[in-house]
Amino acid sequence: MVTSRTDKGYKDFHEHLEALEAEGLLTTINQPVNKDTELHPLVRWQFRGGIPENQRQAFRFNNVTDSKGRTFDMPVVVGALSTNPAIYSIGMGVPSEDIGNRWNDAITNPIDPVTVENAPCHEITMEGDQLRGEGKGLDALPVPISTPGYDSAPYLTATNVTTRNPETGTQNMGTYRAGLKASDRLALRMVARPGGAEGHTHWEMWKKMGQKMPCAIVVGCPPPVAYVGPQKLPVGVEEMAVAGGLAGKPIRQVKCKTVDLLVPADSELVIEGLVDVEILEPEAPFAESHGHVALEDYNCVMEVTAITHRRDAVFTSIISQLTPSESSVIKRIAYEPIYLSHLRDTLGIKGVKRVYLHEALTNLRKILFIQVERGVPTTEVWRALYGCSNLAAAIGKYVIAVDEDIDPENGDSIFWALAYRSNPALDIQILKHKVRYGPKDPRTKNGEESICLIDATLKADMPPIALPKREYMEAARDLWDKLGLPPLKPESPWHGYSLGDWNSEWDEMAKRATQGDYLENGRRSAQYRRSDVAPNTSVRDLPGGPFDDV
């Protein structure tokens, strides 16, 4: 039993790591590991190496280096939030079978946070000149490259990005990617489509006011707080209150040093800043959770005003990209019981045994199975199908009801092809006006998808598969073997490869990133900053961009 360092009533991230170690779920690596080329590929092998889910571990790296030969005092932890259900269960503080009920109770009965004056996350503060220059500010943090060979920079992934509605004063926390551009500058990607990021809605409000948007990126939250970031809560519902409901206690919060926001007091690290509402700049490539590399778009620029952290801070990163991954496990464990409760309790449908969101390769959103008892009336099956298809905007491209003897976990490659290589709106239409999730289809203008089963062959070039290039995965496998980790059984695909939509410029950017020269990429993108574009605009859609002569 881990004893809390304070009377806060919930575990902070340090105490969570202690609990994982006590249960044999934390692997500690003390030898040097390069954050730019080795760290994420090493952890990636437990998702692509045929290792059963219940044998996956959290990893702690105590001797982090980079491609410039630098070393970092701050350890890096990957996989500590939800590499498998046991880790998620420890973070939630309840058995796996009770997780669904805990989520429902927390959403129904939130507990408001309490504000404190002093906080562990403020033990070290960097401002002003401490943020500017090589080896300072963001450049001093051990931020890993998630997908060596494709990503253009180190990225913050385990984020709880905090913004405030300037009209109501309510705060929102979302898990958005944030790429390093300079020691005091980040590129922040908030989904701009309908039903996307509430942080983007806040940005639009600040833009109308003509004021830069205050923003705080929290890294290394207490688990109940970390888990609310990826969830889609109703607009206006404060994640900190739902996190309190998960913890059963008010979450301690503290005012930021340089912006008017409140953040979890027991966080490991907080990056404060202002998001420009006039200027956007090119962001990415970055391998995304839909399983392909997200290519360059124009996105928001955050000027860092302060970085604060604990004296003994641990930097937290998550494995996302091609699923299964840590980020997909976080969502699946919470989403499936929510769907089951929706069908059974809200809609009153009898005979539903299980809802299964297909995870491997398709990332939960594309293929959804409903297992029902034999003999359930056809009307009830169809109510369940319609109920699942419209519960969430981006979930349910293929909704399939099956009997209990059908195992929905088979056929990964088939479902992967159905998810990303077909468009029901064009090939066979069943239900229209579904929100798109994943790479753009050049044949559609409004970005919508449909719900259907149809031809799953490639119709156009697509971005690369969101895995590190072969040479990095092979080198990481050699390192894996040298460390004496469990034998691997590679699963296809186990490395990234191009599907046609990739060019030499992005390849050079990725190479520079793996060599530690991501700042050069930031200088490149700074040359193309502009004020006449909307967030998420592709760099290739406008004249005057980096590809005019390509």
Q: Could you list the pLDDT tens digit for every one of the 550 residues in the chain?
A: 233 455 788 999 999 999 999 999 999 999 999 999 999 999 999 998 989 989 999 999 999 999 999 999 999 999 999 889 899 999 999 998 888 888 888 988 999 999 999 999 999 999 999 999 999 999 999 999 999 999 999 999 999 999 999 999 999 999 999 999 999 999 999 988 766 789 999 999 999 999 999 999 999 999 999 998 777 777 788 999 999 999 999 999 999 999 999 999 999 999 999 999 999 999 999 998 787 899 999 999 999 999 999 999 999 999 888 877 787 777 777 778 878 888 888 899 888 888 888 777 677 778 888 887 877 888 887 788 888 787 777 777 788 777 776 677 765 655 665 566 556 666 555 667 777 777 777 777 777 777 753 444 454 687 888 899 999 999 999 999 999 999 998 887 888 888 888 999 999 999 999 999 999 999 999 999 999 999 998 888 888 878 876 5
- Residue 505 · residue 528 · CB < 8 Å: no
Classify residue 469 by its DSSP letter: B
Q: What are the C-alpha distances in Å from 147 to residues 157, 284, 478? A: 12, 12, 17
- Tally of CB atoms within 10 A around 527: 9
Choose the CATH number for 326-451 among 1.10.3470, 3.30.70, 3.10.20, 3.40.1670.
3.40.1670
pLDDT attached to residue 457: 43
At residue 253, what are phi and psi to the nearest 5 degrees? -130, 160
Decide: residue 314, CB within 10 A, 0-12 exposed, 13-18 middle, 19+ buried. buried
Name the E strands within 366-496.
367-372, 398-403, 431-435, 448-451
- Residue 181 · residue 525 · CB < 8 Å: yes
The residue written with tokens 């040097």 in the block is 32
The residue written with tokens 């997780």 in the block is 99
In angstroms, the CA 533 to CA 439 distance is 20
How many CA atoms, within 13 angstroms, populate the side-chain half-sphere of residue 412?
11
Give the three-state DSSP class for 398. strand
Q: What are the C-alpha distances in Å from 426 to residues 124, 399, 432, 440, 445? A: 55, 18, 10, 14, 12
In angstroms, the CA 239 to CA 461 distance is 39
- Tokens found for residue 186: 């980040």
- Residue 494 · residue 467 · CB < 8 Å: yes
Q: Give the full edge-to-edge strand order of the sheet including 352-357.
A: 352-357, 367-372, 398-403
Give the three-state DSSP class for 287. strand
Please state which CATH number belongs to domain 13-317.
2.30.110.10
**Torsion angle of C-alpha atoms 501, 505, 510, 515, degrees rounded to 10:** 160
- Residue 280 · residue 532 · CB < 8 Å: no
Classify residue 373 by its DSSP letter: -
- Residue 453 · residue 366 · CB < 8 Å: no
In angstroms, the CA 119 to CA 102 distance is 27
- Tally of CB atoms within 10 A around 446: 7
In angstroms, the CA 525 to CA 520 distance is 9
Q: What are the C-alpha distances in Å from 104 to residues 167, 224, 370? A: 28, 14, 20
- Residue 198 · residue 172 · CB < 8 Å: yes
Give the three-state DSSP class for 211. coil
Give the three-state DSSP class for 51. coil
- Residue 423 · residue 450 · CB < 8 Å: yes
- Residue 187 · residue 281 · CB < 8 Å: yes
What pTM value is reported for the model?
A: 0.79
- Angle, alpha carbons 45-46-50 (nearest 5°): 95
In angstroms, the CA 244 to CA 276 distance is 31
In angstroms, the CA 273 to CA 76 distance is 23
Q: Give the residue extent of every domain in the chain.
A: 13-317, 326-451
In angstroms, the CA 16 to CA 220 distance is 11
In angstroms, the CA 369 to CA 360 distance is 14
Q: What are the C-alpha distances in Å from 505 to residues 153, 285, 501, 547? A: 14, 11, 12, 9
Give the three-state DSSP class for 513. helix
The residue written with tokens 């369940």 in the block is 384
In angstroms, the CA 22 to CA 405 distance is 38
In angstroms, the CA 501 to CA 239 distance is 37
